């Protein structure tokens, strides 16, 4: 792949003009496509997407997310970002695509609908928003029918799976791309994973989603509301307080006969969603010397007022389950 530094966008070719790029012809499974590199400003102005909202008969793309496209534009303009993945296009009749120059060059007519985007629509949208241009890899299919385009879109989006978010979070430290909150959450997660007194010891999965284990993604989502009660959070303090709370809540679930539900993403997030209110009631009654025993006393109304049927009825969403927990605690709270 040719690496070219970002540069200011140049004057675009005139609509209807013929333009050329060096190309390699590739044959796979009775289909042919061309591999080229193209300036992003040219690319953004000669292709289009069609969504199901716009065209119920032939559209198949998802709706464009402008924020995601703006993030790509910023990545190009201010972070010296590289875009190594190929944008995949299907040549349309308007392109009048031809192979010339002993099969080493493609020529096509430059129009806003020369190519349909099969994969990379947000990158293309981001290219159009960026102030600078890159030269990026592009794959162009030729001669596809609308049915073949739709099938190829399905294949790309089902058989070529995205890297799991759990793995991306796990390697952010290596890439030095963490913000302060992500650093804090990572360190707290690691304490829960490794400390011998952890209520979640053996129940954590750092780089992948596993059955009956709490992934890094679920953990981070669950702990964000919990951090709001810490004025100056540090990993050890956050771990010690929340570990006492989770140890007590684990016993509470065991009292209902639902101890195995602790690792359910919905249940775990509901438990941590309830933590700020429990912590405030705790501080009002006992100050800030947090212990498992005192958390257990505050949580005891949940076990007393909740059975499996009521739990299951409210465990469809985080909001409903955390509301059930909070209602039980408030009913028993007094000063």
CB proximity list for 48: less than 8 A, separation 6 or greater: 112, 113, 115, 116, 117
- Let me know: does 165 contact 220? Beta carbons within 8 Å: no
At residue 48, the 3 state secondary structure works out as strand
Instruction: Please tell me the predicted confidence (pLDDT) of residue 5.
Output: 54
Q: From residue 73, how far is each of 58, 64, 67, 172, 200 by CA, in Å?
A: 29, 14, 10, 21, 41
Residue 160's pLDDT is what? 63
Q: Which of 262, 237, 279 is nearest to 315 (CA)?
A: 262
Which DSSP letter does residue 101 get? T
In tens digits, what is the pLDDT along the chain, a chain of 335 residues? 344 455 667 789 999 999 999 999 998 877 889 999 999 999 999 999 875 445 444 444 556 778 888 888 898 888 878 888 899 999 999 999 999 988 899 999 999 999 999 988 889 989 989 999 899 999 999 988 888 888 888 787 766 666 666 666 666 666 677 788 889 999 999 999 999 999 999 999 887 778 899 999 899 999 998 898 998 889 999 999 999 999 999 999 999 999 999 999 999 999 999 999 999 999 999 998 999 999 999 999 998 888 899 999 988 899 999 999 998 888 655 55
d(CA 180, CA 185): 9
Task: Count CA within 13 A, CB hemisphere, residue 75.
Answer: 14
Q: What share of the chain is helix, strand, coil (3-state, %, to 5)?
A: 50, 15, 35
> CA-CA distance, 181 to 163, in Å (whole number)?
22
Residue found by looking up tokens 């303009």 in the block: 77
The domain spans of the chain are 7-159, 165-332
Compute CA distances 267 → 98, 114, 219, 263, 324, whole Å.
Answer: 58, 50, 12, 7, 11
Name, in order, each residue with C-beta under 8 angstroms of 326's C-beta and a sequence gap of 6 or more. Answer: 274, 277
pLDDT tens digits along 259-287: 999 999 999 999 999 999 999 999 999 99
How far is CA 53 from each of CA 49, 57, 269, rounded to the nearest angstrom? 11, 10, 34
Q: What is the DSSP letter of 64?
A: P
139 - beta bridge partners? 35, 88
> Measuring CA to CA, which residue among 208, 210, 282, 279 is closest to residue 242?
279
Rg (CA), the chain: 27
Q: How many residues does the chain have?
A: 335
Specify whether the CB–CB gap between 192 and 204 falls below 8 A. Answer: yes
Tell me, what's the pLDDT at 57? 44
């Amino acid at each position: 792949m040719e690496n070219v530094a970002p540069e200011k966008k140049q004057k675009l070719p005139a609509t209807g003009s013929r333009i050329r790029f060096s190309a390699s012809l590739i044959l796979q499974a009775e289909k042919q496509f061309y591999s080229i590199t193209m300036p992003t400003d040219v690319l953004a102005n000669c292709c289009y997407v069609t969504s199901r909202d716009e065209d119920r008969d032939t559209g198949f793309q998802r709706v464009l997310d402008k924020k995601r496209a703006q993030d790509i534009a910023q990545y190009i303009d201010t972070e010296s970002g590289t875009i190594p993945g190929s944008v995949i296009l299907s040549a349309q009749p308007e392109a009048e695509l031809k192979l010339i120059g002993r099969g080493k060059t493609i020529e096509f007519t430059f129009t806003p609908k020369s190519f349909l985007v099969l994969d990379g629509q947000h990158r293309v949208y981001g290219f159009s928003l960026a102030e600078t241009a890159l030269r990026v890899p592009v794959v162009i299919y030729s001669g596809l029918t609308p049915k073949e385009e739709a099938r190829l879109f399905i294949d790309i989006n089902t058989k070529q799976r995205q890297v799991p978010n759990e793995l991306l979070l796990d390697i952010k430290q290596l890439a030095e791309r963490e913000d302060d909150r992500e650093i804090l959450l990572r360190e707290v997660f690691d304490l829960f994973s490794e400390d011998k007194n952890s209520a979640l010891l053996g129940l954590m999965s750092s780089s992948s989603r596993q059955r009956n284990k709490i992934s890094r993604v679920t953990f981070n989502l669950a702990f964000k509301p919990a951090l709001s009660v810490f004025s100056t959070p540090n990993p050890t303090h956050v771990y010690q307080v929340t570990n006492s709370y989770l140890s007590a809540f684990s016993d509470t679930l065991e009292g209902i006969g639902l101890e195995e539900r602790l690792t359910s993403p919905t249940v775990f997030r509901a438990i941590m969603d309830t933590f700020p209110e429990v912590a405030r009631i705790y501080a009002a009654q006992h100050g800030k010397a947090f212990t498992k025993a005192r958390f257990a006393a505050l949580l005891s109304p949940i076990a007393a007022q909740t059975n499996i049927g009521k739990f299951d009825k409210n465990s469809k969403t985080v909001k409903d389950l955390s509301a059930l927990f909070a209602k039980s605690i408030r009913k028993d709270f007094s000063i």
